[in-house]
Amino acid sequence: MTKKLKLNLLSGVTILPAVLCLVVAGSAQATEGYFANGYGTASKGMAGVGTALALDTQSAMKNPASMVKLGNRVDGAVSFFSPLRSYRTRGENPAANFIADPDAESASKLFIIPSFGVNFDQGDYSLGVTLSANGGMNTNYATTVFSGGTNGRTGIDLAQLFLGATYAKKINDKHSFGITPTVVAQRFKATGLQGFGAISSDPSKLTDNGYDYSYGYGLRLGYLGEFTDKITVGAMAQSRMEMQKFDKYAGLFADKGDFDIPPTVSLGLTYKATSDLTISTDIQRIFYSRVAAISNTLVNVTPFNQNAGGTRNSNSLGGSEGVGFGWNDLDIIKIGASYDYDDALTLRTGVSHNSSAFHSSETLFNILAPAVVDTHLSFGGTYKLTSNLMLNMAYTHAFDANINGNNANHVEEINLSMTQHDLEVGVSYLF
């Protein structure tokens, strides 16, 4: 690889964060809570597996140690993501119970989410740079959902951008480890939440304050080991990403706007069944319980009514024990298969399933973030145009899922529903 080409690639890396911030804004990739079901087109084609499998440069998100197996390459992709989200209430008089509109569907239905990565093979170690995006908890209801809303629209919008620099090292021919220090940028906006003012520690920093930005950092560690010619094992741990507070929304998120990104761990096993067929599985846990703004519940906050003059205490929105979305730790299992049909074409498929993000008693606040999908089916493939250039494709369908619940502070039943479609296309170049 020439020095000129290396400089051009690195210059592109410095420009892409600004481009991605513009494109990712508003993304809603809430497939496992608000984490993506997979990172990289090849991984998505296998339902998100990748802890024990080196696929492309987005593998740094699943296991940094796998990057040392990739050689010199560049990967770029664009995801066309369509989440369909709605809620429905069945109370006789929902408006009297705080729900102003008994039935609504989120208006935002298509998002474009790019990704990029490059890896430089240095023999017994590799250096890589990866840009990835998370979105989630995005809703855009063209109506006043909660009594007290003032602008006729309701929703929240969270987007996150990850820039990771990976060092992966071969311990020997069979084992490797990797580390990815990561910087993160995220932005958030809330609209139409004035009705929650009675339980906010600072109603002036609750809603309709435009976009707010926060920046932070974290670390991802990985291990990859080939124990036999057919069996490979991988492990990954991601630290809690320590983020600046959303000051404009200090009256919404717990601890005056704190919204860190939760830690996660995963284990993977890959089995080379034949020379053409590879089967891989991942088990993952996302620790949403470690972030109060995500995991805290509504049940300890009374009274809950915009006319009741609620108390301002540690349980209020924005308080030290402030209300969150009531999300649980999420357990996910994934299994995927890859089949080399011939020298040019590789076919992939997979399925994943995760536990429920929240209990039915938390349906009210989760109108804003209805992360109810739990089962995904994926397929995809790679076609080699030349020995160096490949086209990639993956499609994932998240099956329609519903949660019905009577919120602890309300009498009406609330039904949350979501289904998703995700088509990703990409290009890989080996150099």
CATH number of the CATH domain containing 218: 2.40.160.60
Number of domains comprising the chain: 1
Strand ranges (DSSP E) for 65-153? Answer: 73-89, 103-105, 111-121, 125-141
- Asked whether the predicted pLDDT for residue 17 surpasses 70, the reply is no
pLDDT single digits (tens) 259-315: 999 999 999 999 999 999 999 999 999 999 999 999 988 654 444 443 334 445 677
* pLDDT confidence of residue 369: 84
What is the average pLDDT value for the chain, to the nearest integer? 86
Provide the H-helix boundaries in 228-327. 254-257, 292-295
Kindly report the CA angle at 305 between 301 and 310, in degrees rounded to 5?
Answer: 55
pLDDT single digits (tens) 227-263: 999 999 999 999 999 999 999 999 999 989 999 999 9
What pTM, to 2 d.p., does this model score? 0.87
User: Do the beta carbons of residue 268 and residue 63 sit within 8 Å?
Assistant: yes
First to last CA, the chain: 7
CA-only gyration radius of the chain, Å = 22
Distances (CA, A) of 188 to 24, 198, 246: 12, 22, 8
Question: Range with the lowest mean pLDDT among 47-61, 96-110, 327-341?
Answer: 96-110
Cis peptide bond upstream of 181, omega within 30: no
pLDDT single digits (tens) 151-208: 789 999 998 999 999 999 999 999 999 999 999 999 999 999 998 888 899 999 999 9
Q: 205 is in which domain, residue-wise?
A: 3-430
Q: Is 368 helix (H, G, I), strand (E, B) or coil?
A: coil
* pLDDT confidence of residue 136: 53
- Quote the DSSP letter at residue 295: H
